[in-house]
Chains A and B, each alone.
Chain A
Amino acid sequence: MAEMDEPVDRQVDIDPALLRGLTEPRLTRRQALRMGGAGVGALSVGALLSACGVSGTASKSSKATANGVGSAAWWKKQKQAGILDFANWPLYIDTSHGKHPSLEQFTKATGIKVNYFEVIQDNAPFYAQIAPTLRAGQSIGYDIVVMTSNSFQLDEMLHINNWAIPLDHSRLPNFAKYAGPLVKNPSYDPGNRYTAAWQSGFTGIAYNPELTGREITSVHDLWDPKFKGHVGMMSDNTEIGSVAMLALGIDPATSTQADWHKAAKLLKQQQADGLVRQYYDQSYIKALENGDTWITQAWSGDIYQANNSGYPHLKFVVPKEGVMIWTDNMLIPLHAKHPVDALEWMNFYYQPKIAAEVADWVDYVTPVPDAKPILLKQDPAVGKSPLVFPNAATNAKVHQYYTFKSYNDFQAWNNVFQPIIQA
């Protein structure tokens, strides 16, 4: 995977299949691993060990805030080490000939050597791997990990276990200056106390206008009886729960259990009426391309890539009721060995020039809107795309996911929405 050619040049006529291969979204890899028997076996063992290896150690676990980790005084004592261990998702950074130009520039500018690990395939299994180590009060060997805003595991890291080091914003001037409104002060991490966004994406609706026969503007179109048997819904239960709440005019971020039940009722109705073709993971994009689904819940980056790889007719819409935004966040796990180097990188990444390089390759929503003028010059196709640089109208419609307060809260959500997917 590492030996990839230059980032996709959209001016040149490349074989669509090759293009698709090159720009394959990280979620495809995420799914591939989840499906792969070997991978699952390995993960299950990790999960199992984490599950049975501990008994009631929560009280012992060191918490960041308890012993002053992350305070101004603590940060003052930390020194730059010249090394950064960075754990990220596969295919999620600019890559050229097996190297990552943005990281190389960072090393050149700061002298910090970066060890880049593409080890995160999904939030839950990754969390299962690192949790036992963190619980034992040891370093997991990474100074930055990237986790998603609509995952319970991020809530576990930030709020439930306090396993992230509060950031020293005095060392992140570029974040203050360049971070966009979408990623500043998010509901899952007020004041960006622990996190700085890596990339974001929207969960909206995609459709095939030839098959729907009309324009789609509303989340209610997912409930249109005309599309019976051809509506794609997602198998991630935070996604289906959230879209149903948008349909009911409820903001998922501030929803209550009563709202969840109302949303579940709407989803059950949709299923009972035979509207739902399937609850898809990443494969929803294939189903849309094949014409099995006419209208589907969709992730913005995927539709951008489908448009560039032989399916230009597919459309992504930000429904008028609102659109969900998910964000993959960089955070410094507790006991990280090189926290200052981690901050250095975060600050470096938030320069428009660097963010533009990564955005040009990754095609998701960059946290740095000022990267736009740069990309308009270097790669206008990406610079102009509303899926990489959303406009103000889109920004006004974004909704954050519900933040889980505890494991019981998470279980309550699962108990409401999981039976719909696993019918």
Chain B
Amino acid sequence: MRAVRVRLAPYLLSLPGWFWLGLFFLVPIIAVLSVSLQTGNPDTGYNLTWHFSEFGTVLSNYNGELVRSFLYGAISTLAAFVIAYPMAYWIAFHGGRHKSTYLFIILLPFFVSFVIRTLSWQFLLSDNGIVLGTLKNIGVLPQSTHVLSTPFAVIAGLTYNALPYMVLPLYVAIEKIDRRVVRAAGDLYASGAQAFARVILPLSSAGIFAGFLLVFVTNTGDYVNASILGGPGTTMVGNVIQNSYLSNQDYPTASALSSILMVLLLFVIWLYARVFGTEAVEEAVV
């Protein structure tokens, strides 16, 4: 009897986890999938009619927004990586006893609400604001220059808002690297650049994957940056979903787009894992 209980214990202990996963992951996903195949309207009710053509309709109507979302997501992820890696590297290798202070400084702006932060960017980047106004007044920029309402502003906002999600996993991965391995590379006549490219970078691949995963998934589905910093021609798929759901009560369209977005994101992640190896993925998950 006791043996049975011991064997069952881990499963019993993980029950709350399974319950959580079922309630907040499986149920919503099934609901979303089901709604995407329904027809009807909010007043007469919806019926599950296996209306698969909804997917074709939304793909033809919103393929531009989908492509744009993945493009913005990819560019902002790469930009965040390029900015975050040196930061994480420096903190991990040269931060000394102030490491946690530096990490805290990186996180500090993120104690402010996401929306407020993005609105402050709107303030900073406005046509006659602190940055552009000054540059225009000293004649560096022509009067007609504007940054807001451009793809650049949206991608910059996405990059900024995702930065800590990139820095933290990178930091954890780089921090774990055994310094003796790096020194050994030097002993074997590797230059600094070679040691970085062939030792440090591969050893931090788990962190890179985790960072890419967090940032790319979040940014591709984001709608706040596009609606605050964007303009005509920067609408992302998240904006379309939000609007279909909350304003137009067009639940099938929103659900179909959400499902497509999810499948595409999973595919991209799978591709990444295939190309860079699954060990990195497992390590990242652990």
10 contacts between A and B (CB under 8 A): A34-B246, A35-B228, A49-B31, A127-B42, A128-B249, A278-B232, A281-B227, A290-B129, A406-B43, A411-B41
- Of the candidates B41, B122, B146, which one forms a contact with A283 in the assembled complex, judged by CB atoms under 8 Å apart? B122
Asked if B174 CB lies within 8 Å of chain A CBs, one says no
Q: Say which one of B44-52, B95-103, B275-283 lies at the interface with A.
A: B44-52
Q: Say which one of A54-62, A311-319, A380-388 lies at the interface with B.
A: A54-62
Q: Which of A51-82 contact B (CB under 8 A)?
A: 51-52, 54-58
Asked if B22 CB lies within 8 Å of chain A CBs, one says no
Evaluate whether A291 and B128 lie within 8 angstroms (CB atoms) in the complex, with A36-B113, A37-B114, A283-B228 already known: yes
For A225-237 the 0/1 string (1 means CB < 8 A from B) is 0000100000110
A48 and B31 contacting across the interface, CB-CB below 8 Å: yes
- Shortest CB-to-CB span from A162 to chain B, Å, is 11
Asked if A99 CB lies within 8 Å of chain B CBs, one says no
Asked if A277 CB lies within 8 Å of chain B CBs, one says yes
Asked if B40 CB lies within 8 Å of chain A CBs, one says yes
Nearest-neighbor residue (CB-CB) of A31 within chain B = B115
- Of the candidates A35, A56, A152, A292, which one forms a contact with B224 in the assembled complex, judged by CB atoms under 8 Å apart? A35
Assembly CA distance A55 to B129 (angstroms): 52
Q: Say which one of A1-9, A38-46, A178-186, A324-332 lies at the interface with B.
A: A38-46
- Contact partners of A277 in chain B: CB under 8 A: 148-149, 231
How many residues of A are in contact with the other chain, CB < 8 A? 56
Assembly CA distance A47 to B240 (angstroms): 16
A422 and B231 contacting across the interface, CB-CB below 8 Å: no
Asked if B35 CB lies within 8 Å of chain A CBs, one says yes
Of all A-B residue pairs in the complex, the 8 with the closest CB atoms, nearest first, are A407-B41, A290-B126, A51-B251, A54-B45, A58-B44, A278-B231, A291-B128, A422-B235
Extra pairs beyond A229-B146, A287-B126 (5, CB < 8 Å)? A36-B114, A40-B242, A58-B45, A286-B123, A422-B235
Nearest-neighbor residue (CB-CB) of B113 within chain A = A36
Assembly CA distance A421 to B245 (angstroms): 16
Assembly CA distance A40 to B65 (angstroms): 20
Assembly CA distance A229 to B233 (angstroms): 13
A418 and B243 contacting across the interface, CB-CB below 8 Å: yes
- Shortest CB-to-CB span from B142 to chain A, Å, is 13
B115 and A32 contacting across the interface, CB-CB below 8 Å: yes
- Shortest CB-to-CB span from A417 to chain B, Å, is 11
- Contact partners of A161 in chain B: CB under 8 A: 43
- Contact partners of A236 in chain B: CB under 8 A: 247
- Shortest CB-to-CB span from B60 to chain A, Å, is 12
Chain A interface (Cβ < 8 Å from any Cβ of B): 32, 34-37, 40, 43-45, 47-52, 54-58, 122, 124-125, 127-128, 131, 135, 152, 156, 160-161, 229, 235-236, 271, 276-279, 281, 283, 286-287, 290-292, 406-408, 410-411, 414, 418, 421-423
Asked if B185 CB lies within 8 Å of chain A CBs, one says no
Looking at chain B, what size class is its interface with the partner chain? 35 or more
- Shortest CB-to-CB span from B108 to chain A, Å, is 20
Evaluate whether A124 and B249 lie within 8 angstroms (CB atoms) in the complex, with A36-B113, A48-B28, A276-B232 already known: yes
Evaluate whether A35 and B235 lie within 8 angstroms (CB atoms) in the complex, with A286-B119, A422-B240 already known: no
Asked if B175 CB lies within 8 Å of chain A CBs, one says no
Assembly CA distance A122 to B65 (angstroms): 25
B28 and A286 contacting across the interface, CB-CB below 8 Å: no
Asked if B268 CB lies within 8 Å of chain A CBs, one says no
- Contact partners of B41 in chain A: CB under 8 A: 407-408, 411
- Contact partners of A276 in chain B: CB under 8 A: 231-232
- Shortest CB-to-CB span from A353 to chain B, Å, is 38
B35 and A51 contacting across the interface, CB-CB below 8 Å: yes
- Of the candidates B34, B126, B224, B250, which one forms a contact with A52 in the assembled complex, judged by CB atoms under 8 Å apart? B34
Nearest-neighbor residue (CB-CB) of A135 within chain B = B45
Asked if B248 CB lies within 8 Å of chain A CBs, one says yes
Asked if B127 CB lies within 8 Å of chain A CBs, one says yes
- Contact partners of A292 in chain B: CB under 8 A: 126-127, 146, 148-149
- Of the candidates B146, B245, B250, which one forms a contact with A44 in the assembled complex, judged by CB atoms under 8 Å apart? B245
Asked if B207 CB lies within 8 Å of chain A CBs, one says no
A291 and B127 contacting across the interface, CB-CB below 8 Å: yes
Nearest-neighbor residue (CB-CB) of A58 within chain B = B44
Asked if B32 CB lies within 8 Å of chain A CBs, one says yes
Nearest-neighbor residue (CB-CB) of A35 within chain B = B115
- Shortest CB-to-CB span from A97 to chain B, Å, is 27
Evaluate whether A423 and B126 lie within 8 angstroms (CB atoms) in the complex, with A52-B34, A55-B45 already known: no
A43 and B231 contacting across the interface, CB-CB below 8 Å: no
B43 and A125 contacting across the interface, CB-CB below 8 Å: no
- Contact partners of A35 in chain B: CB under 8 A: 115, 224, 227-228
Q: Which of B9-59 contact A (CB under 8 A)?
A: 28, 31-32, 34-35, 38, 40-48
- Contact partners of A44 in chain B: CB under 8 A: 245-246
B44 and A50 contacting across the interface, CB-CB below 8 Å: no
- Contact partners of B164 in chain A: CB under 8 A: none
Nearest-neighbor residue (CB-CB) of A131 within chain B = B42
